[in-house]
Amino acid sequence: MMLHEFSAPSPKQASEILSMVPYRQRLKVGRMRWPSGFMPAPVRSLHEVHISLMIDEKSTPAIHFPSLSVWVDKVVGDSELARVIDTCASDDDNSYADRCRELHEIIGMRLAQLREIADLSDF
């Protein structure tokens, strides 16, 4: 698990990063699960990405890391997080599942920081 120190954005920036993006700018991801196969589950916020990256005993995230990085940078507006995602996603020594777990933790940390800055108790 890599540790990351994120710089602190302003409360306004934090709120913007946490906000839900318009439907047309959604990121198309999904989940793979036996026996259903691929289930579409597009995401519109970092919060949804965070939950999408969870691995459980029943299903696996279906997410393309380079697309995620671009989306976080260009649509969500968090270029710092996007760079960390790039670094983590390109770690070929880690399995896909491990990279999902790591990204889940990284984005979770970022979310916690942003929520604290934005003073949002929920999302």
Assigned token pair, 116:
């604290």
Q: How far is the CB of 121 from other proteins (least distance, A)?
A: 11
Q: How far is the CB of 28 from other proteins (least distance, A)?
A: 7
- Residue closer to other proteins (CB basis): 12 or 28: 28
| Positions in 26-85 near other proteins (CB under 8 A) | 28-42, 44, 47-48, 51-52, 54, 56, 58-60, 62-64, 67
Q: How far is the CB of 86 from other proteins (least distance, A)?
A: 15
- Residue closer to other proteins (CB basis): 6 or 65: 65
6, 14 in Cβ contact below 8 A? Answer: no
- Residue closer to other proteins (CB basis): 6 or 123: 123
Query: Which amino acid is residue 63, in one-letter code?
Result: I
Q: Is 90 among the residues that bind other proteins (CB under 8 A)? A: no
For 31: left if phi > 0, alpha if psi spans -120 to 50, otherwise beta; the answer is: beta
Q: Which residues bind other proteins (CB under 8 A)?
A: 23-24, 28-42, 44, 47-48, 51-52, 54, 56, 58-60, 62-64, 67, 94-98, 122-123
